[in-house]
Amino acid sequence: MTRFLIGNFRWLLAGFLMTMGSAFGQTYFVSLSNSALIERFGFSHGSLGLVYALATTSSALILLEFGKIVDRVRARTAAMITVAGLSLACLVMAGVQGPVMLFAAYLLLRLFGQGMMGHVAMTATGRWFEARRGMAVSIVSLGHAAGIAIVPAAAVALIALTGDRLAWTLSAAALALGLGPVLWGLLAKDRMPEGRATDLTETESTRPAPAKQSWRRREVLRAPVFWVLILCAVNPAAMMTALFFHQLHLTDVKGWSAGLFAATFTAFALARIVASLFAGGLIDRFSARAMMAVYQLPMAAGLALLWPVDAVWVVPVAMVLIGLTAGTDSALAGTLMPELFGLRYLGEVRALTFAAIVLASALSPLVTGYLIDAGIAFPVQLAGMAAISVSASIILLALRGRLNAIAMDVYSRTPGSSPS
């Protein structure tokens, strides 16, 4: 483990910093301006959710094509484009003057923050590592947990001191003047893909045979199992986005303080770190496919607890349970697609899955926001989300045999043949 970390430090750190930087476009950070926006422009929960959903959906559609860039340029170039776009997004958010400008800000935040930051980091990591891919992706995904642990609490304090507009301006400066130059240096050299040179940390005896063939996007889209898989796999993003987007509303309903809820993101992050590290080792040993059927169950338990219980203790308990699913989900995000569909066209395939995740995270705040406006209590909605998560786990368990067959096909069929 130590040798692996030292030998691959620059690439693992670059991926970690990019996933951490995605925090500036994630719902748990963006939603901290909701109260100020509602007061400033008179939005309802539903109308604010609508703007957010339209912008997020638009970013998902753009990501379908824009995400292919990671197949065409070096990781450093893709990272610099992403950091520049996210910095611009923060500046636009700082100067929002109405719904149209808010839409533009949300669009850029979701495209470059939630979308491209993680997409570039995970796609590059998936290509760079094979025998230890699960471990590498788990380490890189810890940046998500670090962002969750640090950014919300820091943002709440900063907004209280300076207001949300200056906080967004300072965020832009941190990205452009801090993260950008560091990534430029770390990614000056690409990691030699496995199989072309001896890997000092992964010997030939432990490295599995590389995939003989890879699926193109059009092949993936024609596979019915892919659509069922995606509908289930996007569920954690949808559920967590809805919860985090309406976190201030939930605290009002339950009588909790916003600061208390923000503080429990640290518990969420710690659980995510633990789950991500354990999941990485399990994926390397058993496969990502084997993890799919069970990883949503802790989140289901956490969401279910938030429905009937008003006591303060339930918040950290629920956040830990949800964090366990989030950590495993992060590890699966970087390992499942290369495992099933190969490496050559990984960028375009992962752009498709990232777009689906972004779309799901667009719709969930919109739907839940309108349900709140219609009088359906948000805690009751959380119970429904728990039931959906259990159903997704059952479906994924039923799919396990088919996913195993697809993975075996990728590693056995000859180049030029069609996927079964």
The per-residue pLDDT for range 353-411, each reduced to its tens digit, is 777 887 887 788 889 988 998 899 999 999 999 999 999 999 988 887 777 777 666 55
> What one-character DSSP code corresponds to residue 413?
S
In a domain, 195, yes or no: no
What pLDDT sits at residue 23?
Answer: 92
* HSE-CB of 38 using CA atoms within 13 angstroms: 15
Q: Does residue 45 carry a pLDDT above 60?
A: yes
Per-residue confidence band for 53, with pLDDT thresholds at 50, 70 and 90 = confident
φ/ψ of 185, rounded to 5, equals -75, -45
Q: Does residue 203 carry a pLDDT above 60?
A: no
CATH number at 365 reads 1.20.1250.20
Q: Residue 255 class from Cβ within 10 Å (0-12 exposed, 13-18 middle, 19+ buried)?
A: exposed
| Rounded-to-integer distance, Cα 115 and Cα 60, Å | 8
pTM exceeds 0.85 for this model:
no
Mean pLDDT in residue range 135-142: 84
Sign of the torsion formed by the C-alpha atoms of 241, 246, 251 and 257 = positive
**Most confident among 9-13, 64-68, 288-292 (mean pLDDT):** 9-13
In a domain, 263, yes or no: yes
What pLDDT sits at residue 148?
Answer: 81
- Amino acid identity at 199: D
| Rounded-to-integer distance, Cα 11 and Cα 17, Å | 10
Q: Residue 73 class from Cβ within 10 Å (0-12 exposed, 13-18 middle, 19+ buried)?
A: middle
Per-residue confidence band for 343, with pLDDT thresholds at 50, 70 and 90 = low
87 vs 152, higher pLDDT: 87
Its domain, for residue 83, covers: 2-190+209-410
Mean pLDDT in residue range 276-290: 80
In a domain, 51, yes or no: yes
Residues with Cβ < 8 Å from 369, sequence gap 6 or more? 44, 45, 46, 48, 49, 50, 245, 246
| Rounded-to-integer distance, Cα 64 and Cα 91, Å | 25
Per-residue confidence band for 345, with pLDDT thresholds at 50, 70 and 90 = low
Helical pair 378-410 and 297-305, crossing angle rounded to 10 deg: 180
What pLDDT sits at residue 95?
Answer: 92
| Rounded-to-integer distance, Cα 199 and Cα 202, Å | 5
In a domain, 354, yes or no: yes
**Adjacent-strand bridge partners of 202:** 199
Per-residue confidence band for 138, with pLDDT thresholds at 50, 70 and 90 = confident
Cβ(334)–Cβ(125) below 8 Å? yes
Cβ(372)–Cβ(246) below 8 Å? yes
339 vs 146, higher pLDDT: 146
Q: Does residue 420 carry a pLDDT above 60?
A: no
In a domain, 73, yes or no: yes
Cα angle, residue 232 at apex, residues 409 and 276 outer, rounded to 5°: 80
Residues with Cβ < 8 Å from 15, sequence gap 6 or more? 121, 122, 124, 125, 136, 139, 140, 143
In a domain, 419, yes or no: no
| Rounded-to-integer distance, Cα 385 and Cα 414, Å | 43
In a domain, 196, yes or no: no
| Rounded-to-integer distance, Cα 171 and Cα 33, Å | 13
| Rounded-to-integer distance, Cα 170 and Cα 370, Å | 33
Q: Does residue 102 carry a pLDDT above 90?
A: yes
24-41 per-residue burial string, b: 16 or more CB within 10 A, e: under 16: bbbbbbbbbbbeebeeee
Cβ(289)–Cβ(404) below 8 Å? yes
What pLDDT sits at residue 213?
Answer: 62
In a domain, 202, yes or no: no
Range of weakest confidence among 108-117, 199-208, 245-254, 281-290: 199-208
Instruction: Count how many residues are written for the chain.
Output: 420
What pLDDT sits at residue 381?
Answer: 96
Q: Does residue 84 carry a pLDDT above 80?
A: yes
Cβ(268)–Cβ(418) below 8 Å? no
What pLDDT sits at residue 384?
Answer: 95
Classify 199 as helix, strand or coil.
strand
- In 3D space, the residue among 48, 99, 33 whose CA is nearest the CA of residue 370 turns out to be 48
For the chain, count helices (H), then strands (E): 22, 0
> What one-character DSSP code corresponds to residue 141?
H
Q: Count of domains in the chain?
A: 1
What pLDDT sits at residue 207?
Answer: 38
Across the chain, what does the average pLDDT equal? 83
Per-residue confidence band for 416, with pLDDT thresholds at 50, 70 and 90 = very low
Q: Does residue 198 carry a pLDDT above 50?
A: no
Kindly report, residue by residue over 150-196, the tens digit of the pLDDT.
888 888 888 889 899 999 999 999 999 999 999 999 998 877 655 44
What pLDDT sits at residue 104?
Answer: 95
What pLDDT sits at residue 149?
Answer: 80
φ/ψ of 381, rounded to 5, equals -60, -35
